[in-house]
Amino acid sequence: MAGIGIVGAGVAGLHLGLLLRQHEVPVTIYSDRTARQLGSGRMLNSVAHHHATIERERALGVDHWEAEEYHYFGHHHYLGGGPQPLVFPGFFTAPSRAIDYRLYLPALLEDFVSRGGEFDVRPVQAADVVTLSERHDLVVIASGRGDMSAMFPRRADKSPYDAPQRKLCVGLYEGVAPSDPRGVTMSVAAGHGELLEIPIYSSAGHVTALLFENVPGGDLEMLAEISYEDDPAGFEKTILDKTRQYHPATFARIDPAAFHLTGPLDVLQGAVLPSVREDYTRLPNGRYVVAVGDAHVVVDPVIGQGANCASYSAWELGHAIVEDPNFDERFCRKVADRRRNRVYATADWTNLMIRTPPPPHLLRMFGAMAQNQAVADEFTENFSYPDRQWDNLATPERVQHYLTARGLS
């Protein structure tokens, strides 16, 4: 075949490309950035890969970070806002890890090219896709950049928000002692948002990502606006002050004298509009184009699901391509069917987590987690299985059923 064209060199595009190369399918990945540019720019995110994703990396032969030093083992919860904070851990059945994507993506791109994948650096706009579609058997859009996403209509029924629900400020820091056992700390400052403290490996070594998820109108919204570039010391002082006041479990492990951003590009600020888009579109020439990753579903980073979902979705799409390389509407519908449950669950669960105020059944689950280690562990494990999480969490009735079945209601 003339092969598959993939627009985008993020985790979705690379996992898809690597899977297809394992099956000797010709693949070209288009990117507007070289490997060097991907590796040397501003930080891209602070996402962790959970073990379901790591299993895919192992199957792809790209598990370059299998040593224990890269791993963490669960979540430390600090839920403020009540008379007493709820403080409890939850553990995975297998570890997660966070690798700076400026290391991760170039490494996988090298794997891809060394295995016969084509890498074509050029800007691709939506207007170019018809031309690409005539060069390839199938074009996959694995980039939400520029105007690519707009090819796929946003689904109002799965996109409950008209505006971002969190203002984001994420950076890489030295001077934060790891939690014990090593894990992500999820700190909730009721009414103001969350801090995700993530052990991450970057070019600076083992450092800490602090991802502030700030409620618009809350006391921490300003973290998404202050400029490190204009005033590095003032920026770091503000981060320290806000952490002390709102996220004390993390602050307790910070050495203020050693606390620094690891570099001027190691900070990212902004906001995300959660969106679920159609799975595919038909071009004027009759060819079909499939969306994966951010082109398909954008979630707030609060529970770190975006990259894991993109990898999962790419995996399902890749197997569909290998099994049935007839790229018509039947193909697209089969892809949509096989990934729908987990992908929608990822979006729905994330959207529940950022609802303000948090719905009572979510708080009820948190309360049960604080009292019951098995419940906390299952919730934590389900960061690998958002569909199972959503089975337990989707409605007040489901939470009731879940707790009743465990003698906890």
Binding region for its own copies (CB under 8 A): 323-326, 328, 330, 334, 337-338, 340-341, 390-391, 394-395, 397-398, 401
Q: Could you write out the DSSP letters of every residue in 46-107?
A: -PPBPHHHHHHHHHHT--TT-SGGGEEEEEEEEE-SSSS-EEEEEEEEEEEE-B-HHHHHHH
Q: Is 285 helix (H, G, I), strand (E, B) or coil?
A: coil
Radius of gyration from C-alpha coordinates of the chain: 21
**Nearest distance from residue 377's CB to its own copies, in Å?**
19
Distance CA 86, CA 329 (A): 49
For residue 27, the one-letter residue type is V
260/334 with CB nearer its own copies: 334
CA 196 to chain centre: 13
Residue closer to its own copies, measured from CB, 132 or 343: 343
**Which of 157, 143, 146, 139 has the alpha carbon at shortest distance from 276?**
157
- Using an 8 Å Cβ cutoff, are 252 and 238 in contact? no
Least distance from its own copies to the Cβ atom of residue 316, Å: 12
Q: Show the CA angle centred on residue 396, arms to residues 393 and 397, nearest 5°.
A: 95
Minimal distance, residue 308 CB to its own copies, in Å: 20
Shortest Cβ distance from residue 398 to its own copies (Å)? Answer: 5
Cβ distance to its own copies smaller for residue 68 or 337: 337
**Residue with smaller CB distance to its own copies, 180 or 324:** 324
Supply the minimum distance, in Å, between the C-beta of residue 222 and its own copies: 38
Indicate the residue among 188 and 403 with the shorter CB distance to its own copies: 403
Report in angstroms how near the CB of residue 305 gets to its own copies at its nearest: 18
Q: How far apart are CA 123 and CA 131, in angstroms?
A: 13
Question: Is the CB of 326 or the CB of 409 nearer to its own copies?
Answer: 326
> Taking the CB of residue 346, how many other CB atoms lie within 10 A of it?
25
